[in-house]
A and B are shown apart, each in its own frame.
Chain A
Amino acid sequence: MAEVTYLEALRDGLAEEMARDERVFILGEDVGAYGGAFKVTEGFQKRFGEERVIDTPISEVAIVGAAAGAAHMGLRPVCEMQFIDFLSCAYSILTNYVATARYRAGLKTPMVIRGPSGGYVRGGPFHSQNPEAAYLHTPGLKMVAPATARDAKGLIKAAIRDEDPVLYFEHKYLYRRIKEDLPDGEEILTPIGQAKVVREGKDLSIITWSAMLWKSLEAAEQLEKTDGLSVEVVDLRTLLPLDDAAIVATVKKTNRVLIAHEDTRTGGVAGEITARINELCFEWLDAPVKRVCAHDVPLPYAPTLEDFVLPQTDDLVRAARWVAAY
């Protein structure tokens, strides 16, 4: 057993796949000798060579497009966005070219795009984004967002082995804050498309992912202590495709649901989950589904503003009480 951070787990997962499969290569800005802005690929260029760890110009369209072309030809590219906020620069080629390639042209495009997402770090409007909603609406993509070190590793490995394009959103707030003992020598693979019940409960469910998992767990503990509520917490882990079975199972178990995400509310993923609950198991609900998410504003920089805009544990506790009491 070795204690590793979320970031180290991700790094180990990447390295294991590069060692295992010579088709895997990395491209991105400053990923080579520098090891990436957050040092995720530190040491990779030395270990795997310049041909497999490529420093690109500041050209997100070229990174994503070149990855697609290489993937068609049988390679397994992993693109790093220096911050996931810059993936929007490649929005067209990703949604129009990459996502449609299999359907429209029968082209295989097994590639991964990963990068730091998320707030709580005083990064301001362009270094804090949670872009999942922008891509949820695009058939042809998969999307994962790990919350734990184990899944950081398990999902990057699964994403690299997947036959389709996978967006892997890692959370920069968790990089060095989350630690976990991971067994050496055990192959960790987290299946894409499978949620996980992280905390069992019977009164109410919180459905969440990424950094909000930890706030949800905190809220669940607090609610147990102060209100005697038994709160179930479900970590979706994969956002595309959504794990409908896991969502339905928790609804049927607790009959009350809160969906918590860090991204803004309007058009956020919580809306889609709510719609599925309505379609699949409405009659099992004892209360309306409630959302806790960020306010609909660009994420501001000042700590007082950022803390207000982003969902906090207290917001979860209050909303959970409302759902429980309904």
Chain B
Amino acid sequence: MTSTLEPGTPALHAGLSQAQLHELYYFMRLTRSIEEKLVNLYRQTKVIGGLFRSLGQEADAVGSAYALDKGDILSPLIRNLGSMLVKGATPVEVLRQYMAKAESPTRGRELNIHFNDLERGFLGQISHLGDMVAVMAGVTLSFRMRREARVGLVYVGDGAMSTGAFHEGINFAAVQRLPLVIVAENNGYAYSTPMHKQTAVAELVEKAAGYGVRGAQADGNDVLAVYEVTKEAVERARAGGGVTLIELMTYRRKGHAEHDNQSYVTKEELEAWAAKDPLDRYARHLTEGGRATAAELAAIDARVTAEIDTAVALCENEPLPEPATALDGVLAEPPKAELEWYRRLDG
């Protein structure tokens, strides 16, 4: 398992420039701060539905997405806000989604980070776990059919790997040797269910052999290790080397969603993983390795805060969607009959 941040290991910078190293920090900080702001908004009941956190998993999302090029497409899960930000999703889009605003990317139709932009390179999930693996097989199939040197990346949780859709999707991608990277986020739990009740293998990467794909593993709380392991898989896929299943070892430090008090985990476990916080570790790595000064990181933090404040101010008081806008867009042809049916209730 690759890890670069442990004491005693030489400082690796994965071929990244100083500006890129700083950018990784920026995206991780942005992810965390947006979610913290969302917690505030949630407590003020401004977030309409549930709130999902990726606390402690920011490196896994950001480092993996950072390994993609422009033109590559990823499909995020609920804990991959960071991946979407790397691909160009903006704080205001995320805030609008959570608050179901008329101007949100889905115009109030879908929740949280379930939204797309194929141009920027992210294909939003649906709730039904595992489905996106099969869908991303199709996305990458299109790359190959058109002889485009593009790569797809799809995230899957330790829990979602138990679905039939995951199995069928990865198997198809494997047989076709598609340019697809599958990132299995081992964060210890699926809702309350620990991994040993989810699968009889000790490590998710063991499953790679069963599908005949390459397996790799990295410390998911080490953003550079995540970047490196993903970069290698992405380049291999781009060169026609087929699917890699990457297992990132990390931990979900909050409940499944904001309502879940995590009664099923121990304080010790939480504390142990808090000590491995990916942002703290990376900040230390950068400053101790002479790649950033504390002042530079503080400036990034301030920039993040300012960006989020601006985004909140922009959208907080925006209206919700107009009711009747619910009806358009089910099919390419506008379903006029729907509105007429509704009016007919009046007689």
**Which residues of A does B touch, CB under 8 Å?**
29-30, 32-34, 37, 55-61, 82-83, 85-86, 88-89, 122-127, 265, 292, 295-298, 300-305, 307-309, 315, 318-319, 321-322, 325
Can you name 25 A-B residue pairings with CB atoms under 8 Å? A30-B191, A30-B193, A34-B192, A55-B193, A58-B129, A58-B130, A58-B162, A60-B163, A82-B191, A85-B128, A88-B128, A122-B48, A295-B341, A300-B326, A301-B108, A302-B48, A302-B320, A305-B109, A305-B323, A305-B325, A308-B324, A318-B346, A319-B345, A322-B345, A322-B347
In contact, A57 and B321 (Cβ under 8 angstroms) = no
In contact, A302 and B100 (Cβ under 8 angstroms) = yes
In the complex, whether B160 has a CB less than 8 A from a CB of chain A is: yes
Contacting residue for A305 out of B126, B191, B321, B335, CB 8 A: B321
In contact, B162 and A303 (Cβ under 8 angstroms) = no
Contact string against A for B residues 184-215, beta-carbon threshold 8 Å, 1 for contact and 0 otherwise: 00000011110001110000000000000000
- A28 CB to closest chain B CB (Å) equals 10
B-side interface size class: 35 or more
In contact, A126 and B192 (Cβ under 8 angstroms) = no
- Which residues from chain A contact B338 at a C-beta distance below 8 Å? 295-297
Assembled-state Cα–Cα distance A318/B341 (Å): 13
- Which residues from chain A contact B48 at a C-beta distance below 8 Å? 122, 301-303
- Which residues from chain B contact A308 at a C-beta distance below 8 Å? 323-324, 326
In contact, B165 and A265 (Cβ under 8 angstroms) = no
- Which residues from chain B contact A33 at a C-beta distance below 8 Å? 192, 264
With contacts A57-B159, A57-B197, A297-B338 known, is A304 near B322, CB below 8 A? yes
- B169 CB to closest chain A CB (Å) equals 13
In the complex, whether B49 has a CB less than 8 A from a CB of chain A is: yes
- A317 CB to closest chain B CB (Å) equals 10
- Which residues from chain B contact A57 at a C-beta distance below 8 Å? 159, 162, 193, 197-199
In the complex, whether B111 has a CB less than 8 A from a CB of chain A is: yes
**Which residues of B does A touch, CB under 8 Å?**
48-49, 100-102, 106-111, 114, 126-130, 159-160, 162-165, 190-193, 197-199, 263-264, 320-327, 330, 335, 338, 341-342, 345-347
Q: How many A-B residue pairs have CB under 8 A?
A: 134
Assembled-state Cα–Cα distance A85/B80 (Å): 23
In contact, B108 and A89 (Cβ under 8 angstroms) = no
In contact, A34 and B109 (Cβ under 8 angstroms) = no
Contacting residue for B320 out of A86, A88, A304, A309, CB 8 A: A304
- Which residues from chain B contact A301 at a C-beta distance below 8 Å? 48-49, 100, 106, 108-111
- B171 CB to closest chain A CB (Å) equals 15
Assembled-state Cα–Cα distance A62/B285 (Å): 45
Q: Give the one of A58, A83, A321, A325 with max B CB within 10 A.
A: A58
- Which residues from chain B contact A305 at a C-beta distance below 8 Å? 108-109, 320-321, 323, 325-326
Nearest residue (CB) in B for A319 is B345
Interface residues of A: mostly helix, strand, loop or mixed?
loop
Assembled-state Cα–Cα distance A57/B102 (Å): 37
In contact, B345 and A295 (Cβ under 8 angstroms) = no
- Which residues from chain A contact B192 at a C-beta distance below 8 Å? 30, 32-34, 55
With contacts A57-B159, A301-B111 known, is A29 near B193, CB below 8 A? yes
With contacts A301-B109, A302-B320, A304-B322 known, is A58 near B163, CB below 8 A? yes
Contacting residue for B323 out of A124, A127, A298, A307, CB 8 A: A307
Q: Give the one of B109, B322, B338 with max A CB within 10 A.
A: B109
In contact, A302 and B321 (Cβ under 8 angstroms) = yes
Among all A-B residue pairs, the 10 with the closest Cβ atoms: A302-B108, A57-B162, A308-B323, A126-B127, A34-B192, A302-B100, A305-B326, A300-B109, A304-B320, A124-B111
In contact, A126 and B126 (Cβ under 8 angstroms) = yes
Assembled-state Cα–Cα distance A91/B130 (Å): 16
In contact, A34 and B264 (Cβ under 8 angstroms) = yes
Q: Give the one of B48, B130, B160, B324 with max A CB within 10 A.
A: B48
- Which residues from chain A contact B198 at a C-beta distance below 8 Å? 57-58
Assembled-state Cα–Cα distance A190/B322 (Å): 42
Assembled-state Cα–Cα distance A305/B287 (Å): 49
In contact, B49 and A58 (Cβ under 8 angstroms) = no
- Which residues from chain A contact B320 at a C-beta distance below 8 Å? 302-305
Nearest residue (CB) in A for B163 is A58
